Amino acid sequence: MSSGNAIKKVLVIDDNPTIVELIKYAVKLQGSYQVVVAYDGVQGLERVFAEQPDCVIIDVKMPRMDGYQLVRCLRGDARTADIPLIILSAMTREEDQMTGLLSGADEYLTKPFKPTALNAAIERVLRLTPAERQHRTDTLVQTQSERD
């Protein structure tokens, strides 16, 4: 991951090239991010280790490894557990959003998206500290497990 005031690197993982271009356009509107891309979950996982991005934007419905699995995979390895993760998906049900957050995503946004909303989400997750992320997880455990 880049440090300090260096240009932040955002990895976009989505199997739809048109959506990828839209996200790239939206993120670049903000002007201060380098964008790299992958077109399925496995390629995305490879690129996380190769590129060490500052933030990852992940679709859910993808071949080989879906977005939920990818998020869990990243959170389950100390080398990638604290990377800011945003799910950006066409799946809009409350259960979909909850599955994304329970899997470990920091934010869950739905398509179609507004560039301003996506950039605001990126800025929010980039500010999250590991301690804040753990606190959010603990809160989810308390509030969601009580529903079991």
Contact call for residues 65 and 41 (beta carbons, < 8 A): yes
- State the nearest-atom distance from the C-beta of 18 to another protein, in Å: 26
Residue 9 CA to residue 54 CA, distance in Å, equals 5
The answer to the question of residue 46 lying near another protein (CB under 8 A) is yes
Tokens of 146: 């009580």
In the bound complex, what is the minimum distance in angstroms from residue 67's beta carbon to another protein? 12
Residue 76: CB minimum distance to another protein, A: 4
Q: Is 123 in the site for another protein (CB under 8 A)?
A: no
Contacts of 82 (CB under 8 A, 6+ apart): 130, 133
Q: Which position among 9, 28, 72, 111 is part of the footprint of another protein (CB under 8 A)? A: 72
Half-sphere exposure of 83 (CA within 13 A, CB side): 32
CB 12 within 8 A of CB 24: yes
> Interacting stretch for another protein, rule CB under 8 A, among 20-28, 53-61, 75-83, 111-119?
75-83
Which residues form the interface with another protein (CB under 8 A)?
A: 42, 45-46, 49, 64-65, 68-69, 72-73, 75-79, 81, 93, 95, 98-99, 102-104, 134, 137-138, 140-142, 144-148
